[in-house]
Structure formats: C-alpha cells, structure tokens
Structure 1
Amino acid sequence: MPRRTLLTGLAVTAVAVAGAGTAVAVGTGGERSAAIAGAVDPSVPKNVILMIGDGMGDSEITAARAYQGLDKPLRMDGLPFRGAMTVHSLGRTGSGTTYDPVPDSASAITAMATGRKTQLNRLSQGPADDPKAVGDNAGYVTAMERAKQLGKRTGNVTTVDFNDATPAGQLAHMSYRECFTPQDAAKDCAKETKKAGGPGSIYEQIIDSKTDLMVGSGRDILNRGTIDLPGTEHDGKSLEQYAKDASGYRYLTTKDQFLGVKSLKDGPVFAQFGLWNTDKSSHPREFQGSPGTKADEGLRDDDTCKVNETYPEQEVPRIDASTEKALQLLSEDNDKGFFLQIEGGAIDDEAHAAHACLQIGETLAFDRAVGKALDYQAKHPDTLVIVTADHGQAGQILSAEAPQMPTPPVAGDPASLSEDDKPAGRTRTLRTKDGSRLRLGYATSNRSATGSKRERHVGVQVPIMAVGPQAANIMGTIDNTDLYPLLTFAKQPSELPDTTKTVTVSGPATTVTTPGPAVTTPGAPVPGPTREVPGAPALQVGVAAPRTIRAADLRAGLPVSIVATRGGRATVQVQQHGRTIASGRTTVGTKGAKAVRVKARLKPAARGTALRVRVTVTAGGQTRTATAAVTARR
C-alpha cells in the first residue's frame, strides 16, 4: 500500500532557469548569479573535451581579444566557470622537495594527463635523481589511456606534429621528449627502445595506442623513421607502414581525404598533413606579418597583420574544421562517450619567435575551435569542455603611448625616447582592427649577447575555463594535477549542503499520495524569470519525489508531487546528465498541489543512475522552478 504523505511544506531548490550551456560574456554587466547557478551540474559527464592553447597565458588571450576588437569577445569568454591553474614542475633532483616554477610542455601535459608531477622534458613518466635516467611509468596512466580502458572513443587533434609534447604526452611514456623515432630513441633513450625491451620511441607508442582519431601535422616524419626490430615482420618498415600494418590505421594526408571520412567503424584514422621541417610550415599559419625587432623599429605603429591568403590553397584543414569533424566522428553511434584533446600548438611556436601577428592569428584560430566545441556542448549538455593552457609565454602587452614625463617624447617616435624609456628585448606595435595601437614586448632572452631568437616560457599561473557537467570544479585556484579526476570520469557527483528551507502553502492542508517517503530537496529559493503582477503574492514552488526508484518502475511512471502557492501551469522534466529523457505538462489547481507520474526509460549503471526532476510552474504572470534528486537502480 502506498503511504499517504501530507505535503504542506517543501523545499525550493537553488537552481536557476538558465541552462547548462549559458554563456556569461565579458563586460555585459548585470546580475549573473542565476545564470551561473543554472550552469552547475554535478553529474559525471559522458564526454570530455580538453582544449589546450600551448603557451596561451592571459597575455596571449588579451592580445588576441584586443586585436580582434573589444566589441567582439572571444568564444572562450562565454564559458561560465573560470579559475586560475598553477603549473609548476618538479626540480631537477627528482626528490619532490624542490620545484621548477617554469614548466615545459612535457612536464605540464604530464601533470594534466596523469595527475602526477614530473621533471622537465619527461612525458608521462616519473622523475629520477639523474635527469637523464629512465623514470618509473607505473601510476602514470594518462586520461586518454583511461578513457580507452572505459570503452570510450579517443581523439587527439593538434596544429603541430603528433610527437610534440602536448599530443604525445597523452599516449607515450618517455624520459626525453625528443626521442621521436626509433633512431632518435636509440641515440638518447636507448633503454626505452623496443629492441631493449622498452615501450619504444614516441611515435611507436602513439601508433601502438590505436587511438581512434589522430589529426595533426608533420607528415614527412613517418617516412623518416624506420622500425628496428630484427627478426620481426616489421623490421625495416617505415613508421607509416607500421601504422597501417600494426594498428590498422587509415593513413590520410590531404584535407579532402580527412573531411571525406564518413565513420570510424572502418578502423582508426591517422590524418597527418604538411611536411616536416621544410620551408612549407607543418601547419600553415593564420596570419602573416613581421616578427618583433629591437626597440627602435618595433615601437613604430605602421605594422598590420595580414590574413594568410594562401592558406585555403594548401591541403591542410584549419583547426576549427578539424575540431568539427572530430566531434562528428567520435560521437556518431556512440553510447559510451569519448575523450578528445584539442591543441592550438602553434601559439607557443610563434611566441617563442616573438612573432606577434602569427601568435595572435593562432590564438584566434584556436578560439574558433573553442566555438565549435561550445556549439557541440550546447546540443550535448552531458559533455564537459575545459579550455586552458599548459604554461605562460614571453609576450607582454606594453603601453603604446609615450611615457609620462615633464617633457613627454613624441608618441610613436622612438628617436625621441631616452634609452631608459625604451622597452627591453624585442617589440612589435600593431594596429588592431578597430584602429587602436597594440604593442607586444618580448624580453626573456638576450638576443644581442647570444644571438638567440628563441623567447622562453615564464612562471605564471594560467587561465582555465569550463562548461558542462562538473565544470564548477575548476573555479578558484587549482593545480594542473587537479584536472585528472575530471578528465578520467572519476569524480563522483557532490551533494548540496543541507540548508533546507520550508515553504508553507497557504490555505487548507492538501493530501496527495506518493509511494515511499516524502523527500524534500535541500537548497534556497531562487527566482526564475518573472513578469511580476503588481500586488500579487510571490509564487513559491516545491517538488517531492522518491529518493530511489527501480529502473523497471520508471516505465510505469516516476511519482512526482508538486506544490505551489498559486494555481497555474506546470512543466515536469526528468533529466539524466543534463539531458531531458522524459517530460510532461499538467495544471496545478487552485489548492496549489498536484501528484503526477512521468514515464521514462533508461539503463542504469550497476551502482545507480542520478536523475534530476525539474518542475517549472507559471502562475499569475510569475515563473518559478524547483528540482529534486532521484537515483534509479537496477
């Protein structure tokens, strides 16, 4: 017999009406609490997209935004959750008692991909007291490896070569990041070659991973290295042939071949474009322009960035096109989900070269890829998107105006500046799209003394942004190792603290029938969008549902009790991972209470599936929303 439960008071939850994909744009002002609260989703995501702008610190983002025009925010500006991420690596001794505040891409991706720190130049491998010694691979399981263990599809998209640290760090474990081919490994990582019983060179490990989708540059390198395994069928074969024979890859080298792929059902895809280390860039750059020069020339404001007009003629897809295609292929007929890493790798390359225009162009291209991921997430709210950087870079935004002095120098005329007032290192002054002046300075290497043209990383925290299930976990200041539970689908949903507030329904007590105990949902009242009627009492809404229900019983209908302070129209939704799996509409009578059943079908996991019941009531020109949590079990 069902219990007769008196529902005279129910909690109103702290959930806003805004959806999980709500954008919180830069500089819009206004009250954002509801939009941010509505974006909170503690459930475990089905898909994870990790987007890394290599060397994309705050300065690089700010420069790209300023160049594009402050009235045109970046797509990444719309992510609702933001934080700061520390990125230090371990010191050279490997003891763990010292650290290096300036990481390289290898140690940085290791921390994100495995949740463990390591030293410079190591890929997903533990430290050693001798930096040249082989560390321990035990415990350094990467997020991409873990996703494959969970039966999810995996993808790795980059604008640089696959053996570059960021894409390689998800798939290879190596003591030195430049042991690319078997021949490189024989020279610098001899104990880790397959011939010596190790996992093999970086490229061999990438091929052996059988990642579902690889998209990047450095095409020629697969013909530069050969397999060194005497007595085996692969000995003497090129890496390209090894990829085809050992892992069944479809090896693609043109844009049309890649964009023409219809499905991953016919085998994994290894799409690699451009030429390695030639005058043809591995991946064409979005912009053209002059690199930074010494102060006298770099202070002049006559430089403008030009779009690379030859890009469409080259057989290389842009990063946003690669991202869109990757999402299509990874999600097609896929019930288990996927893990996808996307890297804007050339941002770092051009910052190293003090090439302001090219750095900005690559950042804007990466932002377009972010836009593709956000468009996908809006349609698939069970997807977590994280956008961040692996480390900071050298470029700084400098004042483009003359220094404030009793007798100010002539603006834009470096000859009128004293030596003390000229910026150090190399500079480049640009005209932005809205006509403003933007000056970038690079001063991390003494070019005049050493002849070096390579700027260096800097020791700063980096920005991190996210949207989707569990995205709120990146807020505040976190370390790059804290990403690992999010990237590996391992973080369990949290519960709101018990701050229950009772809402008493006016009028006579109303009795409704609900199987099981009455459940009140913790939280505090949060108003949804309203059209207030002058003099009308505030609408209050509550919802109750069983704490648990068998999946089989869901087919007969989930019992939901609705209470409201006024009669009106009610929409009831049952959501799983942010996606609505069942819905219905009803009317709450003038007595302000209603019991309904909502039928749903799902296959819960062995330990249960978290559901959220969402009720929206409109009455008297006002709208309020309340939710309740339900666990469906086998």
Structure 2
Amino acid sequence: MKRREFFSKSMLASIGFGVVNPTLGLSKPPVRTFRKQAKNIIFLVSDGMSTGTLTMADLLLRQKEGKKSRWMSYYLGGFAKRALMDTASSNSLVTDSAAAGSSWGGGMRVPNGSLNVGPKGELPVPILQKFKHAGKSVGCVTSVQITHATPASFCVNEKSRSAMPEIAAKYLELEFDLMMGGGAEVFDASMRKDKRDLFGAFQKAGFSVVRDRDQMMDLNGDKPVLGVYSEGGMPYAIDRENDPELKKKVPSLAEMSRKAIEILSQNPKGFAMQIEGGKVDWAAHANDAPALLYDQLDFDEAVGIALDFAAKDGETLVIMTTDHGNANPGLFAADKFSRLYTTSHSNEWVLSQLSPDNTAGQVADFIETYQGLQLKKEEIDALMKSYRGTSTDGLYGSTKVPNHLYAQLQYAHTGIGWAGTGHSADHVELAMYGPGSENLPAYIENYKLHNFMLDAAHVPALTYAG
C-alpha cells in the first residue's frame, strides 16, 4: 500500500473534527445569561491530562485543520471561568484516579486506591447518589471500563478500586439511569469468577443493555441504559477511526456523550453526569503520543457537545478538568510536530504488530506506512532487541510491548518529550461554563468541588452512608 493512498484522508478529518466552529473564541455563544440555579451538571474529566497534553492537542488541531479546540476556544473567547486545582489525596501529594475522583465524588480526601472510603473508614455519600435522591437522572460515560476508578468514584463506596466485579454488581443495586463505556469482562458470566450473568440481571431489572454503536443509536430513553462496547478499555480513538470494523461497532466518546445527554435531559427535574476521557491517562502512562493527542481531541469533541447543549439550555453547569497530570509531555521541536498529522495508529497498535521474526526492513516500512516516521537502522535495532527479551512496558491491559523505549526513539522524529511515566503532583486546569461558574475561585482544593456542584444545583448534602 502506498503511503499517499493510505493517507489520502487525514485522521483529523475522519474523526469528525471538521464540525468544530472555526470562529469559536471570537463569537458569543447563544446564551450568556444563566439561571441562578443549575438544573443540570455535566462534569468532564480528561483523566491524566497534563497541561502539555491540552496544549499539544490544541496545537495539532490548529496546525493541521486551522481550528481551535473547544476547550481553548472557551478560554480565548472569555466564556469559561478558569482556575487551578490541587490534586492531593489524603496520604500522598501524588494522587491516583480513585482518590482524586473520590475527592469530587465524596467531598473528602481518601487514601490512594480507595473509592469514597476515608482514612478512618468514613463512607461519604457519592455525589451521583445525592443527585439521584434529589430526583435527577444520573449517569456516567467513559472510554475505559465503566467500573474503572473515575466513574466509580462518583457512584460507590469501595475500599479498593480493583474490586471492579463488585462495583459492577453495585451498579445494578443503584439503578442509575445510564452507564456507558467498556468493561464486558466484569458483566459477562463467562468472564466473571463467580459466573454471575450481570448483563442478564440488568435486563431483568428493566435496563436496555446495548453492546455496539448501532444499538446505542437506536436508544430512545424509555428505559435505564447499560452500554458496554468492549471487553476491557475501549480502543484508542486513532485506532478506532482508522479501522472500519471498529468504527462501525464501537462509538466514540462524543457519540456516547451526545446520546447520554439526549436521554438524561428528558427528566424535567434535570440530570447530573460524568464524562471521562479515560484513555488519555493510559496513553500518558505508555508515553504514546499518537494515542494521547487523538484521545484528547476525542475528549474535546465531547466537551464541545456539552458546551453546545449548555449554551442553548442556559441551566447547565459544565465543568472541564482532570484528576491529575501524567508523564508531563511537551513539544520541544516544533519543526517535527507535523509528523503527528498523518499518523494513523497508536504506538501500542504498531508495536503489537511486530515480532522478533521481523526484519529491519519490514519494521522500517511498517512504521513509515502507519506513522510516517523514518527510523534509523540503529533505532530499529534497539527496538527489535527489546522483543528478544521480556518487556513489562505495558499497562492497564495493554500488550507487553516496549512503549517507553519507542517513545524515547520517537523524540528525534516528533519533538515530543516526556518527564516520566506516572502521575504528577501538578496543579491542574479547571474550567466552568454555566450557572454557578461565577462563584469559582482562582484556586480550589479538589475535594471542595463536591459541595460546589451541590450548591450550584441547590441539592442538599446528605451525610448518611451510601
């Protein structure tokens, strides 16, 4: 296959970013006067989004398509209220996603690894239970397992984030209105250790259980929804968009978000939901630049859907943030950044196709075809040497491929460098639009967002255990 044929249509065009309004940031959204009370809350979290991630994704979209990201458009237009947020847990300056999410979900700092279980065994009521008690529809949308740490932090009390099979069962008891993402491994009887058929149990409880994009698109909101579209985490956006079969079967984060808002907004009392770009964090851990930037842009499309709804609605508070930084990537050689414009697959996908049996020439051709990079012989030799040993480079269910070595080799070709492979203690971006946003201070501790959301919606803070 010739590269000019393969890249005849850029990935940015295929993923749908052409719908972004190029004048955003210069023109006024439809609504600027909000109601005093937020009827709806949409909480968007790009998990593990360092400032460099937000920056580079915006630069990629600007340079390739001449458009700004929706997040930065609202900064540039002065529409969003902006702040810095700390991210500490109760036992560490460097948080994990469970503790960070629980600071928002439960309103207190908890130890790393815990979901709304405090250092002394406290069991704060998770925020979606509070909104549900107030009569609102509630739900979560994510690109990883729906039982993963960040969505679960808004929903349940659980001592360990690893207890995803138990979290799935708790979701059935809670009977929330909509849960969408990956994670069939904890719902399917054939993959659960206890062989419990949770998919069947949800159906018996009156849920619409959908397993692919077409089924999701057909939903009309007449029943609560469980949508699970992959065994574990969902595919990276760049891999999904360049695989016709995956694209037909697996919805994007934006598509899930649009359908979720359509369904949840049917409640006259309003709704509260969390939308997570969970695989941004996975890509950062792996130092996978193509996966990171295109998943961040996939998340940004969901941001746009939420902001468009809020601008028309006037009663919706949209919150955009991250739970912590991760790997702190940055662009250090601008002349090489354009090589990310035409890449068609993540590093993980590319590396998982290689084996010790490949010749150096085969590897060179393969990488140039799918990522547009022309690696030197010594770089290919170093990469292939890792395949002859035992690699523990993978994380979160990825194949055990030399992610970090490949990222180091790519620096000379993309100009993207990494400070590490784990979470950071950085203060992070927090932005709001809609009723209540005017009360956001310039700096806020993460756990204070819990009551901030409740106050914006005039929902009382329940104190009993969930």
One fold, TM greater than 0.5?
Answer: yes
Structure 2 letter corresponding to 1:120: N
1:386, 1:465 within 8 Å by CA — same for their partners in 2?
yes
Matches of 1:461 and 1:249 in 2, distance apart? 40
Matches of 2:424 and 2:419 in 1, distance apart? 11
Residue 70 of structure 2 is matched in structure 1 by 75
Deviation at 1:427, TM superposition (A): 3.3
Tell me: CA distance 1:42–1:248, structure 2 relative to 1, closer, same or farther (3 Å). closer
Residue 199 of structure 2 is matched in structure 1 by 240
- Tell me, what secondary structure is at the counterpart of 2:325? coil
Structure 2 letter corresponding to 1:284: P
Scaled by the length of structure 2, the TM-score of the pair is 0.71
Structure 1 letter corresponding to 2:122: D
| Residue 102 (str. 1) matches residue 111 (str. 2) | no
- Any idea what the Cα deviations from partners look like across 1:468-527, whole Å, max 9, x if unmatched? 00112334011111211232245769xxxxxxxxxxxxxxxxxxxxxxxxxxxxxxxxxx
| Residue 469 (str. 1) matches residue 435 (str. 2) | yes
From 246, 251, 255, the equivalent of 2:213 is 255
From 44, 47, 71, the equivalent of 1:54 is 47
Tell me: CA distance 1:114–1:40, structure 2 relative to 1, closer, same or farther (3 Å). farther
Q: Is there any run of 5+ residues in structure 2 with no aligned partner, and where?
A: 1-21, 75-79, 336-374, 379-403, 460-466
Whose Rg is larger? 1
Matches of 1:312 and 1:152 in 2, distance apart? 34
1:118, 1:125 within 8 Å by CA — same for their partners in 2?
yes
Tell me: CA distance 1:386–1:490, structure 2 relative to 1, closer, same or farther (3 Å). closer
Structure 2 letter corresponding to 1:47: N
From 132, 137, 146, the equivalent of 1:148 is 132
| Residue 396 (str. 1) matches residue 329 (str. 2) | yes
Q: Is there any run of 5+ residues in structure 1 with no aligned partner, and where?
A: 1-22, 92-99, 129-134, 182-200, 229-235, 277-281, 289-305, 403-411, 416-423, 432-436, 445-454, 494-634
2:50, 2:327 within 8 Å by CA — same for their partners in 1?
no
Larger RCO of the pair (alpha carbons < 8 Å, separation 6+): 2
Residue 366 of structure 1 is matched in structure 2 by 299
- Tell me, what secondary structure is at the counterpart of 1:155? strand
Matches of 1:76 and 1:398 in 2, distance apart? 19
Tell me: CA distance 1:307–1:317, structure 2 relative to 1, closer, same or farther (3 Å). closer
Residue 148 of structure 2 is matched in structure 1 by 164
Tell me: CA distance 1:489–1:243, structure 2 relative to 1, closer, same or farther (3 Å). farther
1:124, 1:173 within 8 Å by CA — same for their partners in 2?
yes
Cα RMSD after superposing both structures: 3.1
Residue 350 of structure 2 is matched in structure 1 by none
Residue 561 of structure 1 is matched in structure 2 by none
Matches of 1:203 and 1:464 in 2, distance apart? 29
Deviation at 1:68, TM superposition (A): 1.7
Deviation at 1:123, TM superposition (A): 0.3
Matches of 1:492 and 1:24 in 2, distance apart? 34
Tell me: CA distance 1:311–1:69, structure 2 relative to 1, closer, same or farther (3 Å). farther
Tell me: CA distance 1:375–1:312, structure 2 relative to 1, closer, same or farther (3 Å). farther
Deviation at 1:286, TM superposition (A): 1.9
Residue 478 of structure 1 is matched in structure 2 by 444
Residue 385 of structure 1 is matched in structure 2 by 318
Matches of 1:167 and 1:257 in 2, distance apart? 22
Structure 2 letter corresponding to 1:67: L
Matches of 1:41 and 1:313 in 2, distance apart? 37
Matches of 2:237 and 2:131 in 1, distance apart? 32
From 122, 126, 131, the equivalent of 2:118 is 126
2:58, 2:72 within 8 Å by CA — same for their partners in 1?
no
Residue 236 of structure 2 is matched in structure 1 by 285
1:227, 1:238 within 8 Å by CA — same for their partners in 2?
no
- Any idea what the Cα deviations from partners look like across 1:274-332, whole Å, max 9, x if unmatched? 223xxxxx4122225xxxxxxxxxxxxxxxxx962436544111111111111111112
- Any idea what the Cα deviations from partners look like across 1:228-279, whole Å, max 9, x if unmatched? 6xxxxxxx6322223233x43221112111110112x3x2110111223xxx
Deviation at 1:65, TM superposition (A): 1.1
Matches of 2:90 and 2:97 in 1, distance apart? 13
Tell me: CA distance 1:351–1:268, structure 2 relative to 1, closer, same or farther (3 Å). same
2:114, 2:158 within 8 Å by CA — same for their partners in 1?
yes
- Tell me, what secondary structure is at the counterpart of 1:89? coil
Matches of 2:288 and 2:260 in 1, distance apart? 29
From 332, 353, 356, the equivalent of 2:286 is 353
Matches of 2:324 and 2:86 in 1, distance apart? 9
Matches of 2:135 and 2:237 in 1, distance apart? 36
Residue 213 of structure 1 is matched in structure 2 by 178
Matches of 2:193 and 2:103 in 1, distance apart? 30
Residue 417 of structure 2 is matched in structure 1 by 441
Residue 10 of structure 1 is matched in structure 2 by none
Tell me: CA distance 1:336–1:227, structure 2 relative to 1, closer, same or farther (3 Å). farther
1:47, 1:382 within 8 Å by CA — same for their partners in 2?
yes
- Higher share in strand: 1
Tell me: CA distance 1:414–1:473, structure 2 relative to 1, closer, same or farther (3 Å). farther
Residue 631 of structure 1 is matched in structure 2 by none
Structure 1 letter corresponding to 2:252: R
Tell me: CA distance 1:262–1:430, structure 2 relative to 1, closer, same or farther (3 Å). farther
Tell me: CA distance 1:492–1:146, structure 2 relative to 1, closer, same or farther (3 Å). closer
Residue 381 of structure 2 is matched in structure 1 by none
Matches of 1:343 and 1:89 in 2, distance apart? 19
| Residue 271 (str. 1) matches residue 227 (str. 2) | yes
Deviation at 1:399, TM superposition (A): 1.9
Deviation at 1:353, TM superposition (A): 0.9
Deviation at 1:382, TM superposition (A): 0.7
Residue 122 of structure 2 is matched in structure 1 by 136
2:320, 2:432 within 8 Å by CA — same for their partners in 1?
yes
Matches of 1:39 and 1:439 in 2, distance apart? 40
Structure 2 letter corresponding to 1:101: L
